[in-house]
Structure 1
Amino acid sequence: MCADTPDYKDTLNLPETDFPMRAGLPKREPGWLERWEKIGVYDRLRAGAGNRPPFILHDGPPYANGHLHIGHALNKILKDMVVRSQQMMGRDSRYVPGWDCHGLPIEWKIEQSYREKGLDKDKVDVVEFRRECREFAEGWIDVQRDEFKRLGVTGKWDAPYLTMDFHAERVIAEEFQTFLMNGTLYQGSKPVMWSPVEKTALAEAEVEYHDHQSHTIWVKFRAVKGGDADFDLGDEGGDYDGPNQALLASQLQGAYVVIWTTTPWTIPQNRAICFGPEISYGLYEVTGRPEECWARIGERYIMADSLAEQTMSQARLDDSMYRRLRDVSAEELSRLTCAHPLQGAEGAEGEWDYDVPLLPGDHVTEEAGTGFVHTAPSHGADDYEIGRKYGLPMTYNVLEDSSFRADLPFFGGALIFDHKGKEKDANKRVIDKLVEVGALLARGRLKHSYPHSWRSKAPVIFRNTPQWFAAIDREVGDGQDTYGKTIRQRALTSIDELVTWTPRTGRNRIHSMIEARPDWVLSRQRAWGVPLTCFVKTGAKPDDPDFLLRDFTVNQRILDAFEQEGADAWYKPGAKERFLDGVVNPDEYEQVFDILDVWFDSGSTHAFVLRDRADGAEDGIADLYLEGTDQHRGWFHSSMLQACGTKGRAPYRGVLTHGFTLDEKGNKMSKSLGNTIVPEEVVKQYGADILRLWVAQTDYTGDQRIGPEILKGVADSYRRLRNTMRFLLGNLAGFSEGERVAAQDMPELERWVLHRMAELDARVRAGYDAYDFQGVFRALFDFATGDLSSFYFDIRKDAFYCDADDSLRRRAARTVLDLLFHRLTTWLAPILVFTMEEVWLERFPGDESSVHLVDIPETPAEWLDDALAAKWAGIRRVRRVVTAALEIQRRDKVIGASLEAAPVVHIRDAEVLKAARSVHFEDICITSAIWLTGDPMPSEAFRLPEVEGVGVVFETAEGEKCQRCWKILPEVGSQSHPGVCSRCDDALG
């Protein structure tokens, strides 16, 4: 600048904002949380809802036990994005957070504290014990509530729902009584998954599968009858006819049916053997043997042909040591009866003096074993069904701690698993006895997937024990038959006709589970929960008509007591008399003290939250349930069954599921591996908005990865977006309504931005409605950093800074910035709750101001202009080539800035050339001048392979540099103000 040229810096409209580039989120976010609580944002939205249509996301209750993990954060942030986005799109979006408070983990913690003090839980008054459980849960609810709120999650935090609230316990009992009164409740003795560690039955949702090393044994069952078995097997029974048949039958007499099992401890409970009617079986004879072998020469074995070689190999017999004698038909098998392998054993005291039939079973396969399945109805689901079909007796040999009853010969007191889930002596003692009596053919070890309790991580067993069940195939006597007469029918109809599943694969998963599931085991043998509020008649059998007391007066007394005192009322002295006196003789009834499966508690939440609360749903049905994919067998599942039993349909219209969170390498997080990500630590380092942005950037429908490097990338995206918002704020300083320009009066570039806003508004709304947060954020991020920062803002900086205050171009551009501000802040507010509040308050400060109190603005349909968008798509393609050509000149230090250039641009397409000529293309390319031509491009012209028909020949701009806007123009030096161009001269006045 010459010494006599003024400094024009103060004449420029440079950005003005206090909005910092460094966010400082960890320190600043708690202040916004306090502010929202102070002004009551959530309650103000409810109070001002008016006639807005309600949208209710019903919270799946987390368990009140321990600090939050990253899965909790993912889940709650997703829910918050749903709630906030629905609110800002015009709905009354309600969210009542809740907690699951009953159940075994809390009970365990209290028992552990007793053990540390040397106390015996069984000697502590049950009401006192339950009080301690309640206090433990209350403590963790307060901790988790603060941790959830720190993530920016909105909701009715001052009045959440708790399954242990007195009213909740009353409603849970009331829902159970509905099952009692409609005929679906029954007591049955059948095998259930039983945890020896926790000494309680488990529901399917409480079981997970892990690798487990099991014993495998091949056991010989001696055939003792060939026809007249003790069980009615149908028309196949009867004597063989003729000498040939008698000879064939004699070959099977004394032969052994060989079974294979991975649970040796179940052999004492064997009652039958199942075969596959379609499987090919053969009779095999041992002709030789090695020294170390349990097989004997001359013994004959029946087994599936496809598995014979493998079985013989396990018995250490090669193919030279046995021969196949003949086929054995399914008809012959059905006529066989075998002796139990322990039958007649010295000291057995007659325990196993019975024969076992061979029965056809569709569950028998040739995948492993021998083609025969040892069947113990008391210890397996398929076994139980076979037993029920053919009238096999149940056994009660295994006690609640997984020990054999003390008086069981040979095995009394043997333990399957100890209190820590470690295998003990039951399997070994059974195997040793089978060896002793000559019934073992082979043994081995097998690593396979085995059920474990998801709480204790210990193996479980199938154990026959009296339990209470909800019959899902029994007609429900409640008259609510619109969607089916049974719970299963209603659930399957709901899945297909009433519920939208996101992603759609969720439908297939839960449908198959409901379709195949057994009756629901409702009872648990614990103390902390809602009891099964029913009475049974003393001495009556479960199938007697008067076994269960069904009386409305008794039920109402119980409910009234629970409303006032909670479920503790059931355990107080004199409870039975209190509820029964004057209705029936209390002495004639026994009080049931089992507690309800906690999944029944959480499955009932629709009743005491959606139905009973003032902020619930008018029809008691939620718009959305949102949890992880594991809840297809958990909360989604139990809520479905429970509601289908009490209200006749699913309690939700939509279900959204997310996957699990893994480390950066895709490994499951584990404390032992040191790869866990704790939400609290992320928030302390980066702020909650970075964690929320990570959620928005992931495809939550699958498993997500998170780790230090991923979070760094998220933080970088955040910084770029923050820079966009800072530019908006800086160039909107002082904007007033008087500056506003109507859309039709704006230059084309501004009208193109309006078009993009209209496109984005539709995309954002559709994305939020589809819960596609990744798609919404990607569209907004690309728009903010691509269309705006790298294109529109880059072009219009000159107008913002250098145009006269009243110029149409500057006023139009600032009008667009104002429109962008209102849309970007509200579009992004459901995701970046803290940052968008900061942006909003920077422009609209005030004690009652908040971006979360406003809606996404409606966008006029007339902003859409597809023809204009197509025109500007062509202009932008040409600009890309020009920008790339100038970048090379900058890199080679030919020029320092693009304003030093005046390139010649060859455009082959006449329409594109016309479009470029119709705008100030030098401004679009940020050059001082530009020459557009349709002439053939010379060979030296710069080209981009992906943009055909455009070439750029570099030329430098001619003239002097304007000391105000820095454009190089011939007119500089001939204006009334020294050293400026004509545009700047006009702006200076």
Structure 2
Amino acid sequence: MSTRLLSKWPSLIKSTYIPQCTEDLYKWQQANLTDESLFILHDGPPYANGKVHMGHSLNKILKDIIIRYQLMQHRKVSYIPGWDCHGLPIELKALEKAENAENLSAPETRMLARKVAKEAVIDQMAQFKSWGIMGDWNNSYLTMNLDYEIRQLKVLEKMIARGLIFRKFRPVYWSIESKSALAEAELEYDIHKSTSAYVKFPIVHSDILPKDVSLLIWTTTPWTLPANKAIAVNATSTYTLCTTLNHGSLLVASDLVNEVAMAIDEEHSMIPTGQSYSGLQLVNTTYRHPLPDKASSATFPVILADHVTTESGTGLVHTAPSHGMEDYLSALENHIEVNSIVGNDGCFALPMPEGWEFLAGKSVLQEGQIEVIKLLKSTNAIAKIQPYKHKYPFDWRHKKPVIIRATHQWFANVEAIKKDAINALSYVDFYPKHSKHRLETFTNSRAEWCISRQRVWGVPIPVLYHKDTDEPLMTLESVSYIIEQMKQRGTDAWFDPSLSTSAWIHPKYAAECNNYYRKNETIDVWFDSGSSWTLIADKYPDRDTLADVYLEGSDQHRGWFQSSLLTAVATAPQGTVPKAPYGTLITHGFTLDEKGQKMSKSIGNVIDPSDVINGNGKKIKPTGVDGLRLWVAQAEYGNDVAVSATILSQIADSIRKLRTTFRFILGVLNTNEQPSAMNYNDLPQIEKVALYELSVLLKDSKEAYDNYRFSHVVQMLNHHVNANLSAFFIDIRKDSLYADSPSTITRRAATYFLQQALKVYLSILGPILPILCQEVWNYSPIWFRAGMASPFESGWYELPSKWADEESAALAEETEYLKQIKNTVNTLAQRLRKNQIIGSNLEAKVTLCGNTPLLTKYNKDFLADLFVCSQVDKIESVPAQTSDEYCIFMDTLDLSVRIDKADKYKCPRCWKYSSIEEGDLCRRCAEVSSQLPRTTPTQKDN
């Protein structure tokens, strides 16, 4: 049987190895392992939009390593891949492909969006499978499937029943590009250059202030000034009246007089008058907008607010209730009306406040703001205006700044369940540990979750609205009835204009049918994916913890991790302690280039997973699927992970080393009959030490796997292959394996050890490199496979505890001293080779001089095998410290090591310099040759 390994043949990988270690294996374990040991890794659904990237590889392969390790432990595994299929990006992509997008109906838009999502799922699934990802692909879940949508709506229904869902007109983050509300999880913060302005509001009435005084505010959103309804002060702060050279009398916080003076270029001419007032004294003061005379008769109050501080600005806060959450809450406390003057498109909209009507139709972030500033300049209301750089929220998909505007939206009351949610996290294991604090912080920072979106591609909100009042028909019986109709008709039917309201209204309200209508509103996609735990709950209702593991990127602390937690806690059965849907939560970082930059198409530093596998004809050479998987496994995934041509080249070297090692082991074991087992006590010391080191590797690897430290597994295995196996065991035993008689203890012991090493290596490497391990398995002897189709069927190999007991550890520790001598011999041999005295270690004779017990305990033949030389002499005396180039004194062992050219002849069979006469076989080879057929070659393969 050939021991050639064929992974360079992509067709064979695709047609044989991948199916064997994915589809066939998943079916086998589902049929042969029991649910009692079931391990569930629940898939956080990737977004069904666009091509896969290295972040997908990192995510999917990490998950695959975990479930394969659990399978190695003979646990039945469940991994059902999923896809997040709704949302704005897919809807926009669908509209981009449409010829007449602006005239498409909602059903037509949904049909196109569904097609876009389906195509992405098909493409991504094919890519994921090509990476050797094992899972229940035939039963993948899609959030756009009706059964999933109904399950999600049932979650919403339960939250409505608990009183956790409400509608409110309040400020929300608004994406102008998508014309929809955004949740906090859909924001990212970046440096933005805003326009900051110090603006004067003239007083109309005050019990204590002169009439010619202006209240000075500072804002970074001048476009919100037309929406101003109040100026807020802190009740306990002190405010000082100042005179200025250019801006008249101004009132500012006493603590900020100097800072304000410098900011408005009045550092030498802004003079406090000595008149100071508490914030509480200013409450009866009113003011007007700084518009041209008689442009507006409206006046506005000074109010108290706890959020006002004197740390920055002027200590007086411009309050626009429709454009800020703190402003909104202050308005409610002071019974100030909240209305919106900005439309869905981000433009000022009628009716506008008196005096500001000319702004209607202008973009608030562009020409609208320019016009506001122009008007204020004309009335001398601006004390100073300048650019201002600060962190600002951006729409994470469009990378554009958002605005805050008041609209009617549906919210989930997070405040009511926050305590239970945080408590549920105390039962979760986090990797890395600090990620727990991150998730707790994000959860604690939320009071409400905006779950409504003003789009058509998503799960519709099952609520009808009154045509005259726009009030929702939000009764549990109405919502339940609509959900049942969607279950029968499909969610697309909600957007079908041919279906009248009568198809959706509960019989109880049928008489009022003509008074109600339905809206094109959908549920936040985080609610979509956050309901996916119901797939497990419905199938395994008795599980204490639904999923053993959730694993996603660090951005999901604000997204899927949190939405899953909130929906699970919100719908927990009454009388039970709410639990998170996951027992272990694992977080990985993002992918970076070799310079530490985030990968981006615009920068041009993106590496495609297919380039890693197949090469790109440029810097990146092909590493195969094994290379892509090894890159993931060796990464410290808790941090951001770099990928580059240099890193991938190192990965390729590791793969080659592993393949060479497996090829050597298979060559040794390539026999028709299984080598006979050996009594441990009969094994030579080399094998006992090798088995001890193998046992330590197996134990430490299992511990690393149990703690999801895959990079540590890779490091330990690479070290063992290079240092323990290749540089030590194989280096020593290669001669015996080539030249000894098969019946000798030494050769039998070496073969026995390599058999154990192969089983251990397949156990450790199987989860990481299943394709390579499947290939090795296919080419291993029939007796080794024992009728099993995969190394995973064999399971995690266990070694006898005897091999790692205290006696074995002591023997291994003693052998470390011998390794030090071996390293010294190699150093001296290198000097002989450099001076062209010898060509290899086999041409050398080693002389050891000293009184160490090591010389007494070990005979010359053992030491010659250990040093891979032909001769060893031992001199038991006080070692001489010499400056001889070919002699080294080892003071730690009180031993001198000398090397010379061997004084015997080269054996033509084993190549050791141990023959008495030139051209003759050495004694060992002569004995072995006499037992072999004459046709057997007498010279080993180099």
Specify whether residues 628 and 337 from structure 1 end up closer, same or farther in structure 2 by C-alpha distance, changes over 3 A only. same
The match for 1:665 is: 595
Please give the per-residue CA displacement for 1:128-168, whole angstroms capped at 9, x wherever unaligned.
Answer: 32222212211111111001111111111122000011100
Please say if residues 804 and 810 of structure 1, whose CA atoms lie closer than 8 Å, have aligned partners that are also in contact.
yes
- Checking the alignment, whether the CA contact within 8 Å between 1:204 and 1:633 is kept in structure 2 is yes
Superposed CA deviations along residues 877-934 of structure 1, whole A, max 9, x for unmatched, are 22212221222211221211112222223457x4555565598111111111223446
1:169 maps to 2:149 = yes
Residue 809 of structure 1 corresponds to which residue in structure 2? 746
- Give the deviation of 1:672 after TM superposition: 2.6
CA contact (8 A) 1:26 1:688 kept: no
Structure number with greater CO (CA < 8 Å, separation at least 6) is: 1
Compute the TM-score of the two structures, normalised by the length of structure 1: 0.86
Equivalent residue, structure 1, for 2:102: 120
Answering whether residue 508 of structure 2 is matched by residue 595 of structure 1, we say: no
Tell me the residue number matched to 2:372: 430
Question: 1-side partners of 2:328 and 2:174: how far apart?
Answer: 15
**Hey, what does 2:842 align to over in structure 1?**
899
Aligned with 1:764 (options 676, 683, 701): 701
| 1:363–1:382 Cα contact (<8 Å) kept | no
- Following superposition, the deviation at residue 37 of structure 1 comes to 8.2
Name the SS for the 2:764 alignment partner.
Answer: helix
Q: Paired residue for 1:402, among 325, 346, 363?
A: 346
Structure 1 residues 447 and 738: CA distance shift in structure 2, 3 A: closer
> Any idea what SS the aligned residue of 2:509 has?
coil
Pair 1:25–1:704, CA change in 2 (3 A): farther
Q: Which aligned pairs between 1:322-721 and structure 2 lie closer than 5 A?
A: 322-326=270-274, 328-331=276-279, 334-335=282-283, 337-342=285-290, 345-348=293-296, 350=297, 353-362=298-307, 364-366=309-311, 368-408=312-352, 409-412=354-357, 414=359, 423-474=365-416, 487-495=417-425, 497-535=426-464, 548-551=474-477, 554-572=478-496, 573-574=498-499, 576-585=501-510, 586-587=512-513, 589-591=516-518, 593-607=520-534, 609-613=535-539, 618-619=543-544, 621-647=546-572, 648-685=578-615, 686=622, 687-721=624-658
| Equivalent residues of 2:481, 2:506 under 8 A apart | no
| Aligned counterpart, 1:11 | none
Aligned to 1:283: 241
1:76-115 matches, cutoff 5 A: 76-114=60-98
SS at the partner of 2:400?
coil
Query: Which of the residues 876, 881, 891 maps onto 2:819?
Result: 876
2:711 maps to amino acid: Q
Q: Note if 1:820 corresponds to 2:744.
A: no
The whole-number CA distance in structure 2 between the counterparts of 1:208 and 1:168 is: 29
Out of 311, 332, 346, the residue aligned to residue 260 of structure 2 is 311
Other-structure match for 2:723: 786
Distance 1:557 1:411 in 2: 46
In structure 1, what is the Cα distance between the partners aligned to 2:707 and 2:889? 38
Q: What stretches of structure 1 of length at least 5 have no aligned partner?
A: 1-15, 228-248, 289-294, 475-486
Structure 1 residues 905 and 443: CA distance shift in structure 2, 3 A: same
Counterpart CA distance in 2 for 1:683 and 1:703 is: 21
Letter aligned with residue 147 of structure 1: Q
CA deviations on 1:737-760 (whole Å, 9 max, x unpaired) are: 343323332111111121112111
Establish whether residue 215 from structure 1 lines up as the match of residue 195 from structure 2: yes
Report the Cα distance in structure 2 between the residues aligned to 1:568 and 1:844, rounded to whole angstroms.
Answer: 58
- Residue 331 of structure 1 deviates from its aligned partner by 4.4
More off after superposition, 175-184 vs 124-133: 124-133
Output the amino acid matched with 1:894: I
Distance 1:206 1:771 in 2: 29
CA contact (8 A) 1:206 1:453 kept: yes
Flag the 1:926–1:161 CA change in 2: closer, same or farther, 3 A. same
The structural deviation recorded for 1:263 is: 0.5
Using the alignment, how far apart are the partners of 2:431 and 2:382 within structure 1?
52
Task: Answer yes or no: is the 8 Å Cα contact 2:202–2:212 preserved in 1.
Answer: yes
**1:964 aligned residue:** 909
The corresponding residue for 1:68 is 52
Deviations 1:380-435 (A, max 9, x none): 122223333333321221111111123324544747986xxx94211111112222
Letter in 2 for 1:317: E
Does the CA-based 8 Å contact 1:611-1:620 persist in structure 2?
Answer: no
Alpha carbons of structure 1 residues 982 and 130: separation in structure 2 relative to 1, 3 Å: closer
Q: Closer, same or farther in 2 for the Cα pair 1:416/1:160, shift >3 Å?
A: farther
SS in 1 for 2:607: coil
Give the AA of the match of 1:434.
Answer: L
Q: What is the TM-score when the length of structure 2 is the normalising length?
A: 0.91
Contact 2:340–2:407 at 8 Å: present in 1 too?
yes
Distance in structure 1 (CA, Å) of the matches to 2:848 and 2:446 = 71
What is the rounded CA distance, in whole Å, between the counterparts of 1:132 and 1:617 in structure 2? 40
1:858 matches 2:798? yes
Work out the CA distance in 1 between the residues paired with 2:719 and 2:750: 20
Distance 1:917 1:325, change over 3 A: farther
* Identity value in percent: 32
Helix, strand or coil for the counterpart of 1:856? coil
Partner of residue 6, structure 1: none
Letter aligned with residue 100 of structure 2: G
Local SS of the residue matching 1:857? coil
- Give the 3-state SS of the residue equivalent to 1:112 in structure 2: helix
Report the counterpart of residue 57 of structure 1 in structure 2: 41
- Structure 1 residues 751 and 698: CA distance shift in structure 2, 3 A: same
Whole-angstrom distance in 2 between the partners of 1:984 and 1:490? 81
Residues 325 and 638 of structure 1: is their aligned pair in 2 closer, same or farther, counting only changes over 3 Å?
Answer: same
Q: Which amino acid aligns with 1:192?
A: V
**Deviation sequence 1:84-119 (CA, Å, 0-9, x none):** 1111122112110000011111111122233xx234
CA change 1:533–1:934 in 2 (3 A) is farther
CA contact (8 A) 1:221 1:257 kept: yes
Amino acid at match of 1:379: H
Aligned residue identity for 1:600: F
Instruction: Give the letter aligned to residue 218 of structure 1.
Output: Y
Matched, 1:271 2:220: no
Instruction: Answer whether contact 1:304 1:371 (CA < 8 A) is retained.
Output: yes
Once the 2 structures are TM-superposed, how far is the Cα of residue 53 of structure 1 from its aligned partner?
1.2
Deviation of the 1:959 alpha carbon: 2.3
With over 3 angstroms needed to count, the CA separation of the structure-2 counterparts of 1:534 and 1:824, relative to structure 1, is: same
Q: How far is the alpha carbon of 1:841 from its aligned partner?
A: 0.9
Indicate the residue corresponding to 2:575 in structure 1.
Answer: none
Q: Structure 1 residues 276 and 899 mapped into 2: Cα distance closer, same or farther (>3 Å)?
A: farther
What is the identity, as a one-letter code, of the residue corresponding to 1:701?
G
1:764-806 superposed Cα distances (whole Å, 9 cap, x missing partner): 1111111111000110111011110111111000110111111
CA contact (8 A) 2:239 2:279 kept: no
Q: Cα 1:277–1:508, aligned 2, differ >3 Å: closer, same or farther?
A: farther
- Equivalent residue of 2:836, what SS? coil
Give the CA deviation at 1:185.
Answer: 0.7
CA deviation string 1:177-209 (max 9, x = no partner): 111111111101110000111110001111112
Give how far 1:437 is off: 2.8
Give 1:81 deviation, angstroms: 0.9
Letter aligned with residue 672 of structure 1: S
Listed one character per residue, the Cα deviations across residues 918-955 of structure 1 (whole Å, up to 9, x for unaligned) are 98111111111223446233223644889664431223
Aligned position for 2:216: 258
Helix, strand or coil for the counterpart of 2:26?
A: helix
Contact kept in structure 2, 1:623 and 1:653, CA below 8 Å = yes
